[in-house]
């Protein structure tokens, strides 16, 4: 460009000089043919200088007019490409260069509008993607990631920058998802599947796939959107619920079968024998009682689970409550030849929660200690304050629990020895109830046991649960 300008500039200059020289020579020839030689040269010299100056001014103006807008345009394109979309060119001519400048300005306006629209829709899209709690990934036809939302970044422990353009297998090492992508891209179908993954914990993920089709080319497929739902908890709860229903049905059926069996036997003649009748009626009585207790326990458990524990915040005088339960259970223990000993700190700080549940918790723990300790044994109750917490422990010298059973102890209907528990009237819900009550106090429960030696359950409740 610079060379072209130089050539144009020199050409104008040369034409100017030649023209001036030619004109001055013609003038001299016509009017001053009798003048002295040196004067002629002066005139020629002067004419050349004037001509030079005139052509210089002319060339400068011409070039400036032609090149000025082009230089401005070059500058403007650079600024626009650097991101300054407000840059415009001043147009002050109606010739070709003026039209070019006008078109350039229009183009810059359109460009800035389009970019604004695009960035607005981009902001909206990323706001939507960020607010969606489900992980979302979009991949192209080669399974390369083109988009990943924050939830997916979190799930796969990868940043969007790291994941972009990577093959799905590099980010999510799971063949099933990759095979699924191949399947749906080949068959042009959309569907849902569930997969088991380890990332690093075991999870069950429900995967929804949708083909990506451009708006103006609905037959073309350019990739797949994968929406992921973590259904681990849902499936776990479903499994627990169906297990619970199966257990409840079984537990209810057992006494009912027994009751109906004995009634049947009585009806078919046994009622006439006084001794048999008494024995059968006693069994029916025990079974009916078990049935009632079972239903009561199920209702208590569901009540504790369904009540937001923050709803009930009664003041519980801890020491007094424990002593009250001790008194109640002492008679049960005495009947079995078991002694209850206690070391309960007086004036323990008050707790806040459901008073009846607190007592129920103590009853269940003492009931177990008595139930699973043979006659002549001892049960200790300790209650003290330490580290701004209340520690309540119930220790017995009973049959103990094998180590392998300890982790399952608080599950509903779990009994170490089913037959034995049934014999002593256990439903297997006592400790599940205790666990939920302890949780309602934001507390923890621990168990330590040695088979044949005894068991100790310790409940730890934070004192400041009142101020929360």
Ligand X SMILES: Nc1ncnc2c1ncn2[C@@H]1O[C@H](COP(=O)(O)OP(=O)(O)OP(=O)(O)O)[C@@H](O)[C@H]1O
Residues that bind ligand X (CB under 6 A): 297, 364, 368-369, 371-372, 396, 398-401, 409, 414-417, 421, 426-432, 455
Nearest to 454 by CA among 395, 382, 388: 395
Residue 409 site contact among Mg ion, ligand X, none (CB < 5 to 8 Å, cut-off depends on kind): ligand X
**Helix (H/G/I), strand (E/B), else coil: 202:** strand
User: Quick one: 104 or 457, whose CB is closer to Mg ion?
Assistant: 457
Sign of the alpha-carbon torsion through 290, 295, 301, 303: negative
Smallest gap from Cβ 358 to ligand X, in A, equals 17
User: Quick one: 144 or 378, whose CB is closer to ligand X?
Assistant: 378
Residue 223 site contact among Mg ion, ligand X, none (CB < 5 to 8 Å, cut-off depends on kind): none
User: Quick one: 51 or 428, whose CB is closer to ligand X?
Assistant: 428
What residues does 462 pair with on adjacent strands? 389
User: Quick one: 353 or 398, whose CB is closer to ligand X?
Assistant: 398
Q: Is 376 left (phi over 0), alpha (psi -120 to 50) or beta?
A: left
User: Quick one: 235 or 293, whose CB is closer to ligand X?
Assistant: 293
Torsion of the alpha carbons at 253, 258, 263 and 268, rounded to the nearest 10: 120
Residue 137 site contact among ligand X, Mg ion, none (CB < 5 to 8 Å, cut-off depends on kind): none
Smallest gap from Cβ 455 to ligand X, in A, equals 4
Smallest gap from Cβ 241 to ligand X, in A, equals 19
Smallest gap from Cβ 431 to Mg ion, in A, equals 6
Q: Is 223 left (phi over 0), alpha (psi -120 to 50) or beta?
A: left
Give how far Cα 77 sits from Cα of 15, 62, 108, Å: 35, 23, 9
User: Quick one: 93 or 288, whose CB is closer to ligand X?
Assistant: 288
* DSSP class of 206: E
Residues numbered 195 to 254 that lie near Mg ion (CB under 5 A) are none
Smallest gap from Cβ 279 to Mg ion, in A, equals 27
Sign of the alpha-carbon torsion through 258, 263, 269, 272: positive
Residues numbered 46 to 75 that lie near Mg ion (CB under 5 A) are none
Residue 369 site contact among ligand X, Mg ion, none (CB < 5 to 8 Å, cut-off depends on kind): ligand X
Cβ atoms of 349 and 308 closer than 8 Å: no
Taking CB under 5 A as the criterion, the residue among 368, 393, 397, 465 binding Mg ion is 368
Smallest gap from Cβ 365 to Mg ion, in A, equals 8
Q: What CA–CA distance (Å, rounded) separates 34 from 21?
A: 19
- Helical segments of 207-343, H only: 232-267, 274-306, 318-335
Smallest gap from Cβ 286 to Mg ion, in A, equals 17
Indicate the burial class of 114 (C-beta count within 10 angstroms; 0-12, 13-18, 19 or more). Answer: exposed
Residue 318 site contact among Mg ion, ligand X, none (CB < 5 to 8 Å, cut-off depends on kind): none
Task: Tell me the residue number closest to Mg ion, measured at CB.
Answer: 430
Residue 321 site contact among Mg ion, ligand X, none (CB < 5 to 8 Å, cut-off depends on kind): none
Smallest gap from Cβ 464 to ligand X, in A, equals 29
Nearest to 371 by CA among 313, 431, 311, 312: 431
User: Quick one: 278 or 446, whose CB is closer to ligand X?
Assistant: 446
425-426-427 Cα angle (round to 5): 120
Smallest gap from Cβ 397 to ligand X, in A, equals 10
In DSSP notation, 345-385 reads -TTPPPEEE-HHHHHHHHHHHHHHHHHTS-TT-EEEEEEEE
Residue 421 site contact among ligand X, Mg ion, none (CB < 5 to 8 Å, cut-off depends on kind): ligand X
Residues numbered 401 to 460 that lie near Mg ion (CB under 5 A) are 430
Smallest gap from Cβ 285 to ligand X, in A, equals 17
Backbone angles phi, psi at 445, to 5 degrees: -130, 135
Residue 108 site contact among Mg ion, ligand X, none (CB < 5 to 8 Å, cut-off depends on kind): none
Torsion of the alpha carbons at 143, 148, 151 and 153, rounded to the nearest 10: 80
User: Quick one: 226 or 409, whose CB is closer to ligand X?
Assistant: 409
Task: Tell me the residue number closest to ligand X, measured at CB.
Answer: 430
User: Quick one: 352 or 372, whose CB is closer to ligand X?
Assistant: 372
User: Quick one: 353 or 430, whose CB is closer to Mg ion?
Assistant: 430
Q: Which residues bind Mg ion (CB under 5 A)?
A: 368, 430
């Amino acid at each position: 460009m610079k060379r072209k300008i130089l050539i144009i500039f020199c050409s104008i200059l040369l034409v100017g000089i030649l023209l001036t020289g030619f004109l001055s020579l013609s003038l001299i020839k016509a009017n001053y043919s009798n003048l002295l030689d040196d004067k002629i040269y002066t005139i020629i010299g002067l004419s050349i200088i004037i001509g030079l100056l005139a052509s210089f001014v002319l060339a400068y103006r011409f070039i400036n007019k032609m090149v000025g807008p082009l230089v401005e345009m070059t500058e403007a394109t650079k600024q626009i490409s650097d991101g300054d979309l407000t840059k415009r060119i001043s147009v002050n001519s109606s010739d070709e260069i003026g039209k070019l400048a006008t078109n350039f300005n229009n183009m810059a306006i359109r460009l800035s509008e389009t970019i604004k629209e695009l960035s607005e829709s981009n902001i909206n899209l990323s706001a939507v993607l960020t607010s969606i709690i489900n992980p979302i990934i979009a991949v192209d036809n080669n399974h390369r990631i083109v988009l990943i939302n924050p939830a997916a970044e979190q799930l796969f422990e990868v940043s969007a920058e790291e994941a972009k353009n990577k093959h799905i297998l590099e980010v999510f090492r799971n063949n099933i998802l990759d095979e699924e992508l191949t399947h749906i891209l080949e068959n042009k179908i959309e569907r849902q599947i569930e997969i088991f993954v380890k990332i690093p914990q075991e999870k069950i993920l429900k995967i929804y796939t949708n083909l990506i089709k451009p708006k103006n080319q609905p037959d073309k497929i350019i990739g797949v959107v994968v929406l992921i739902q973590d259904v681990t908890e849902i499936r776990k709860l479903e499994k627990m619920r169906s297990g619970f229903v199966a257990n409840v049905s079984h537990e209810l059926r057992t006494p009912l079968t027994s009751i109906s069996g004995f009634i049947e036997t009585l009806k078919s003649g046994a009622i006439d024998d006084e001794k048999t009748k008494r024995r059968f009626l006693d069994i029916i009585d025990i079974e009916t009682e078990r049935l009632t207790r079972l239903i009561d326990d199920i209702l208590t458990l569901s009540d504790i689970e369904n009540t937001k524990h923050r709803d009930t915040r009664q003041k519980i005088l801890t020491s007094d409550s424990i002593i009250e339960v001790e008194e109640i259970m002492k008679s049960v223990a005495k009947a079995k030849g078991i002694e209850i000993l206690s070391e309960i700190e007086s004036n323990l700080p008050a707790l806040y929660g459901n008073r009846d549940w607190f007592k129920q918790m103590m009853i269940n723990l003492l009931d177990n200690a008595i139930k699973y300790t043979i006659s002549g044994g001892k049960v200790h109750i300790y209650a003290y304050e330490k580290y701004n917490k209340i520690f309540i422990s119930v220790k017995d010298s009973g049959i103990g629990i094998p180590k392998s059973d300890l982790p399952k102890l608080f599950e509903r209907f779990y009994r170490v020895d089913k037959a034995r528990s049934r014999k002593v009237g256990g439903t297997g819900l006592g400790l599940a109830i205790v666990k939920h009550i302890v949780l309602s106090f934001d507390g923890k429960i621990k168990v330590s046991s040695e088979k044949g030696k005894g068991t100790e359950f310790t409940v730890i409740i934070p004192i400041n649960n009142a101020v929360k």
